[in-house]
């Protein structure tokens, strides 16, 4: 059980933990030892805001042309991804990157593939709503019409009143942002076989192959956990994404290990990656940041194909091929942690078994996060 020690968090057991400085009356129902997410000061996390956010998340009226909702790109059965290599906006515009999973997004401290400045859901929600490069929901220029339409719906009249009692005006941008952020924060996943083994001590939750794969994943032979557990700060890897913040995190913990160049391309220097998709470099202008993208969560990874920021790897087997080779196209900006690996056929099978053990089947159909309009 050495791996469990790696994940020790040291917070009180229980189903509810106070988190953040925002308004919170929400019960997270987390396993013992898992702290609640850290809320930003402007967050409102109540059952009423979550329920309002669920309706808005699935409502196609929240797009400029009425053809898409948030759920169009974040499908519950696919762990809130969409199965596309690259996203598709409401106007048919193909995006440069694939939609990231929203599972445990409340714990993520950098929310997109390559923008290090988007750190709260309240700020990020505005991007799909109003962004034009690329267009996602395409609400820009249509806000007043959309808000008026929602305000005329008796169901929304009740939902907004419950979520924001005493407010002078209902159905505005601020309230919609708060509600959508609350719903997305509510999507937490800690009931995979791996979680049952890790948090509840259920030794039967993982079969022998998955247990061997788990040990190999966190070993120095592969160093998979070196990135997905947060380098030298293991407890930040609660989401298997290299760095997550929660109510027990220290403010001084490093955030520099979140972005990596994983050797997908080796084009002509200095731009080893396609010029329209240069990763972190687009925000920093630093050459060593070319091709660096956010480490994604591995939770539910078996249902979120295709893989990588551009969906250029189709299967988990091919992902293993990529890392065993030390990158598909090694380049000078590539992470120093990518080195060729020597793995047997059984090692490969065991790693795949472990990755499948990260699927939370209940999450994929839980009515708390399902479409309320069906």
* pLDDT tens sequence across 256-297: 468 999 999 999 878 999 999 999 999 999 999 999 999 999
- Show the CA angle centred on residue 310, arms to residues 305 and 314, nearest 5°: 35
What is the pLDDT at residue 229?
77
Q: What is the pTM of this model?
A: 0.91
Looking at per-residue confidence, does 166 or 293 come out higher? 293
The 10s digit of each residue's pLDDT in 93-106 is 999 999 999 999 99
Give the domain ranges of the chain: 23-188, 193-356
The 10s digit of each residue's pLDDT in 80-135 is 999 999 999 999 999 999 999 999 999 988 899 999 999 899 999 999 999 999 99
Find the distance separating the first CA and the last CA of the chain, reported in whole Å. 44
Band (12; pLDDT cuts 50, 70, 90):
very low
Single out the residue of 31, 39, 37, 36 nearest to residue 14, CA to CA.
Answer: 31
Band (22; pLDDT cuts 50, 70, 90):
low
Asked if 274 and 44 touch (Cβ cutoff 8 Å), the reply is no
DSSP β-bridge partners for residue 244 = 108
- Show Cβ contacts of residue 231 under 8 Å, excluding neighbours closer than 6 positions: 242, 257, 337
Task: Calculate mean pLDDT across residues 330-354.
Answer: 94
The 10s digit of each residue's pLDDT in 292-341 is 999 999 999 999 999 999 999 999 999 999 999 999 998 989 998 899 99
Phi, psi of 290 (to 5 degrees): -60, 130
CA distance 224 to 40: 30
Asked if 49 and 57 touch (Cβ cutoff 8 Å), the reply is no
For the chain, give percent helix, strand, coil, nearest 5.
35, 5, 60
Per-residue burial over 138-154, b if 16 or more Cβ lie within 10 Å, else e, is bbeebeeebbebbeeee
Domains 23-188 and 193-356 share a fold: yes
CATH of span 193-356: 1.10.760.10
Asked if 259 and 114 touch (Cβ cutoff 8 Å), the reply is yes
Band (23; pLDDT cuts 50, 70, 90):
low
Q: Which CATH architecture has domain 23-188?
A: Orthogonal Bundle (1.10)
What's the full length of the chain, in residues? 374
């Amino acid at each position: 059980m050495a791996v469990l020690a790696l994940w020790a968090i040291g917070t009180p057991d229980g189903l509810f933990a106070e988190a953040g400085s925002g308004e919170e009356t929400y019960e997270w129902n987390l396993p013992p030892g898992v702290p609640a997410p850290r809320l930003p000061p402007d967050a409102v996390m109540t059952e009423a805001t979550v329920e309002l956010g669920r309706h808005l998340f699935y409502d196609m009226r929240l797009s400029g042309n009425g053809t898409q909702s948030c759920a169009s790109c974040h499908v519950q059965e696919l762990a809130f991804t969409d199965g596309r290599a690259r996203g598709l906006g409401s106007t048919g515009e193909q995006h440069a990157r694939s939609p990231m999973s929203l599972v445990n997004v409340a714990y993520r401290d950098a929310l997109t593939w390559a923008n290090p400045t988007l750190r709260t859901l309240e700020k990020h929600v505005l991007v799909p709503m109003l962004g034009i490069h690329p267009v996602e929901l395409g609400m820009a220029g249509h806000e007043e019409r959309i808000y008026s339409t929602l305000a005329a719906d008796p169901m929304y009249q009740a939902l907004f009143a419950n979520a924001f009692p005493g407010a002078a005006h209902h159905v505005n941008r601020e309230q919609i942002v708060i509600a959508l952020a609350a719903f997305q924060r509510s999507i937490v996943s800690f009931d995979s076989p791996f979680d049952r083994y890790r948090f509840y001590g259920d030794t039967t939750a993982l079969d022998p192959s998955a247990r061997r794969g788990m040990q190999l994943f966190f070993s120095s032979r592969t160093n998979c956990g070196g990135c997905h557990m947060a380098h030298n700060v293991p407890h930040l890897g609660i989401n298997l994404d290299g760095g997550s913040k929660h109510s027990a995190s220290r403010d001084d913990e490093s955030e520099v290990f979140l972005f990596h160049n994983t050797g997908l391309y080796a084009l002509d220097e200095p731009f080893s990656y396609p010029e329209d998709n240069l990763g972190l470099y687009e925000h920093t202008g630093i050459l060593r940041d070319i091709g660096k993208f956010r480490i994604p969560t591995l939770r539910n990874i078996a249902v979120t194909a295709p893989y990588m920021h551009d969906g250029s790897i189709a299967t988990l087997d091919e992902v293993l091929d990529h890392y065993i080779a030390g990158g598909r196209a090694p380049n000078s900006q590539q992470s120093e942690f990518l080195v060729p690996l020597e793995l047997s056929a059984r090692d490969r099978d065991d790693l795949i078994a472990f990755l499948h053990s990260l699927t939370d089947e209940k999450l994929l159909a839980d009515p708390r996060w399902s479409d309320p309009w069906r």
